[in-house]
A and B are shown apart, each in its own frame.
Chain A
Amino acid sequence: MNSPNAQSAAPALNRKQGLWREAWLRMRRNTSAIVGMALLAAIILLAVFANVIADYDTVAIKIDVANRLKPPSRSHLFGTDELGRDLFARIIHGARISLSIGFLAEMATLALGMALGSVSGFYGGRIDNVVMRFMDVFMAIPSLLLAIAMVTAFGTGTPILVLAIAVSGAPSMSRIVRAQVMSAREQEYVEAARALGAGDMTVVLRYILPNTMSPIIVQASLDMAGCILTVSSLSYLGLGVPPPAPEWGAILSAGQSYIRDAWNITVFPGLMIVITVIALNMVGDGLRDALDPKLKR
């Protein structure tokens, strides 16, 4: 409330990070967000040090038919797959692929969505109508189908994959951005900025976007889980990352023919997908509470 937030020392200008630091303090008190962040950090660490833990060429994609379909053991933590490759090595290398494609796809979604959404929301009227009707068309196509169509049309490969996911994710992101921008646009401080003589660019960059970031960040972190699922789904269908790259969905797909003999091939990648998605959702929910404390209580 009116606490005269003790700042007795001489003013040091540009204490820029104030609001973010407050959000972090709130986030730190949220157990599930911390658990989510810890899980995510563990997965990222595994991905980063994948090559140190198990070499890609000599372990992750090296076929060893003599050792195929081994259950988990001391030498093969998660067992081996149908070609005798070490499953643990494949999964931690798979984390690299899933996380990086997921992240890139989300960034691309964000860029597309923010550009379209802020133009649409800020200018409104006819521009808004055209952009939004276009987005409606995209939203009417199930996103997985859209991605499948794009991959079949343009071929597989990481850039196409990223683009396919971004195109299918952009409409909903742009709607969120648009709604945020529209409500921020009506705020009195925007009118105040205009009264001070600020132009469109200044208004958007200094007054509107900074005030729309928190819900967008939350949405992006939740969306990223969806991206990872989409990548896995596409790979499962054989449309994602081409073999022998150890993508989680691809491993899962290959393992399903052996599910009676070797449960580990399907369960471990499945588990990784689930853990990553849950971790991202926990972080996303935590961010929501931390960035918008009004929602809580």
Chain B
Amino acid sequence: MPGSTDTLLDARDLIISYDTDNGVARAVNGVSFTLRRGETLGLVGETGAGKTTTALAIMGLLPEETGRVEGGSVLFEGEDLLTLPREPMRRKRGQDISMVFQDPMTALNPVMNVGEQIAEALRSHQSISVSAANARAGDMLEMVGIPRGRAVEYPHQFSGGMKQRVVIAIALVCRPKLLIADEPTTALDVTIQAQVLELIARLKTEIDTSMLLITHDLGVVARTCQRVAIMYSGRVIEMGTIEQVFDDPLHPYTHGLFGSIPDITRETRRLTPIDGLMPDPFSLPEGCAFAARCRHALPGCCKPQSEVDLGGGHMAACWRAADIKARRAGGGL
């Protein structure tokens, strides 16, 4: 599948570390995934799983002084973004790939009206007259459900949900091929989150883009994505379609994650949490990073784990996954 024409983004064995005062933090340790054209892929994980670092690497926005790509590649339409020089990368950002951040409160410039901010995003990539850019900014605002008359207002005059709509308008004004949304609704209230998710889904089809949705919320993934990649300790440990992963989670971590979530449609008297903590990124274990917390752990788990294909593109980085699948099918679990 990698290299085939419908693959838009292909991350392979991405390794990223940060230099800190306390030593080298290994934030991303061999992340691989593919994103097809027109698809929404959910990148799910807890704090410190390496989701945002992966996104920043794709955007070429890792902190220059401390962040370091140690290996791997990120092919975007067949071109490796990691080796792209600064200027062409800058042109790609906003034009072909754009990003929506978690906090709409700080993502906007407080001293510039929102219309100007949208127009500026457009004008930094396309030679277009000021009036034409302003007209497009107005169109964009309407597209995200804000009357175009509000273009002259400043960010503080908008509520949180409205600000996030403006941020989305800025991200989409150049009609990028890829939208990376990093926890786009985490800072919002549930009813507003529902509105914004609906909006993102609608715009994605309208302007025909692909999306990488980073979130910790499996419910949001179920609502928005076609495929999902679960990250743990800097690796994708399970990947597949929503049905594959949600109906039949095969990596013990994914399974544990589902056991930790109270769900509105189910009766749960008691949750089954995963004991312990994610390993310290300053001293990662040799083999499976989850082994210390895993109920199925065996001595073989201390060797590096490679991805196991369980059929139909369902992958899990656990050598026991097939075994677990068989046992579950047989009612053993």
Q: With an 8 A cutoff between CB atoms, is A73 at the interface?
A: no
Q: Are A2 and B22 in contact (CB under 8 A)?
A: no
- A4 is an interface residue with CB less than 8 A from chain B: yes
Residues of B with C-beta under 8 A to A26? 21
Q: Which residues of B contact A297 (CB under 8 A)?
A: 65-66
- Within 1-31 of A, Cβ neighbours of B (below 8 Å) are at 1-4, 26
Query: Which residues A241-297 have CB closer than 8 A to chain B?
Result: 293, 297
Q: Is B153 an interface residue (CB 8 A)?
A: no
Cβ distance A193 to chain B, nearest Cβ, rounded Å: 28
Which residues of A lie under 8 Å from residue B280 when comparing CB positions?
A: 1-4
In chain B, positions 156-201 with a C-beta closer than 8 Å to chain A are none
Tell me the complex Cα distance, A4–B282, Å.
11
Task: Find chain B residues with CB under 8 A from A3 CB.
Answer: 22, 280, 282
Q: Which residues of A contact B322 (CB under 8 A)?
A: none
The reply to whether A2 and B277 form a contact with Cβ atoms under 8 Å apart is yes
Instruction: Tell me whether B48 and A2 are in contact (CB under 8 A).
Output: yes
> B282 to A1, Cβ gap below 8 A?
yes
Complex: A209 Cα to B48 Cα, angstroms:
33
How many Å lie between the Cα of A1 and that of B284 in the bound state? 13
A26 to B278 alpha-carbon distance, docked (Å): 27
Q: Is B308 an interface residue (CB 8 A)?
A: no
> Which residues of B lie under 8 Å from residue A2 when comparing CB positions?
48, 277-278, 280
In the complex, whether B281 has a CB less than 8 A from a CB of chain A is: yes
Say whether B218 faces chain A, with CB atoms less than 8 Å apart. Answer: no
Q: How far is the CA of A293 from the CA of B20 in the complex (A)?
A: 12
CB distance from A23 to the nearest CB of B (A): 13
Give the docked Cα–Cα distance between A293 and B25 (Å): 18
Minimal beta-carbon separation of A1 from chain B (angstroms): 7
Contact at A1–B25, with CB atoms within 8 Å? yes
Size class of A's contact patch? under 10
**A293 and B21 alpha carbons, distance in the complex (Å):** 10
CB-contacts of B236-291 with A (<8 A): 277-278, 280-282
Q: Which of A136-150 contact B (CB under 8 A)?
A: none
Residues of B within 8 A of A4 (CB): 280
Cα–Cα, bound, A293→B282 (Å): 19
A3 to B280, CA, bound (A): 6
Within 8 A of B (CB), among A210-259: none
- Evaluate contact between B66 and A1: CB separation under 8 angstroms: no
Report chain A residues within 8 Å CB of B65: 297
Minimum CB distance partner of A25 in chain B:
B21
Give the residue name and chain of the A residue nearest to B65 (CB).
A297
CB distance from A79 to the nearest CB of B (A): 48
Shortest Cβ distance from B282 into A: residue: A3
* Set of chain A residues within 8 Å of B48, measured between Cβ atoms: 1-2
Bound state CA distance, A297 and B278, in angstroms?
Answer: 25
Expressed in whole angstroms, the minimum distance between the Cβ of B177 and any Cβ of chain A is: 33
Interface residues of B in 41-62 (CB under 8 A from A): 48
A277 CA to B81 CA in the complex, in Å?
50
Q: Which residues 17-76 in B have Cβ within 8 Å of A in the complex?
A: 21-22, 25, 48, 65-66
Q: How far is the CA of A108 from the CA of B281 in the complex (A)?
A: 48
| Best-buried of A1, A3, A4, A26 by chain B (most CB within 10 Å) | A1
Question: Please, how many angstroms separate the alpha-carbon atoms of A161 and B20 in the complex?
Answer: 47
CB 8 Å contact bits of B89-131 with A (1 = contact, 0 = none) = 0000000000000000000000000000000000000000000
Contact residues in A for B66 (Cβ distance below 8 Å)? 297
Which chain A residue lies CB-closest to B22? A3
Bound-state CA distance A181–B64 (Å) is: 36
Q: A293 vs B22: C-alpha distance in the bound complex, in angstroms?
A: 13
Closest residue of chain B to A26 (Cβ to Cβ) is B21
Q: Of all chain A residues, which has the CB nearest B278?
A: A2
List B contacts of A293 (CB < 8 A).
21
| Least CB distance, A24 to chain B, in whole angstroms | 14
Chain A residues lying within 8 Å of B278, measured Cβ to Cβ, are 2
Q: What is the CB-to-nearest-CB distance from A293 to chain B, in angstroms, rounded to a whole number?
A: 8
Chain A residue nearest to B48 (CB atoms) is: A1
Bound-state CA distance A295–B22 (Å) is 17
Question: In the complex, A135 Cα to B66 Cα: how many Å?
Answer: 44
Determine the chain B residues whose CB is within 8 A of the CB of A1 once the complex forms: 25, 48, 280-282
Given the complex of chains A and B, what is the CA–CA distance between A121 and B185 in angstroms? 36
* Minimum Cβ distance to chain A for residue B119 (Å): 33
Which of B21, B66, B277, B282 lies at the interface centre, i.e. has the most chain A CB atoms within 10 A of its CB? B21
Give Cα distance in the complex from A297 to B21, angstroms.
10
A124 and B291 alpha carbons, distance in the complex (Å): 54
What separation, in Å, do the CA atoms of A180 and B277 have in the docked complex? Answer: 35
> How far apart are A29's CB and chain B's nearest CB, in angstroms?
8
Please give 14 more A-B residue pairs, beta carbons under 8 A apart, in addition to A1-B48, A1-B281, A1-B282.
A1-B25, A1-B280, A2-B48, A2-B277, A2-B278, A2-B280, A3-B22, A3-B280, A3-B282, A4-B280, A26-B21, A293-B21, A297-B65, A297-B66
The 6 closest A-B pairs by CB, nearest first: A3-B280, A2-B280, A2-B277, A3-B282, A1-B281, A1-B280
What are 12 residue pairs bridging A and B, where the CB atoms are less than 8 Å apart in the complex? Answer: A1-B25, A1-B280, A1-B281, A1-B282, A2-B48, A2-B277, A2-B278, A2-B280, A3-B22, A3-B280, A3-B282, A297-B65
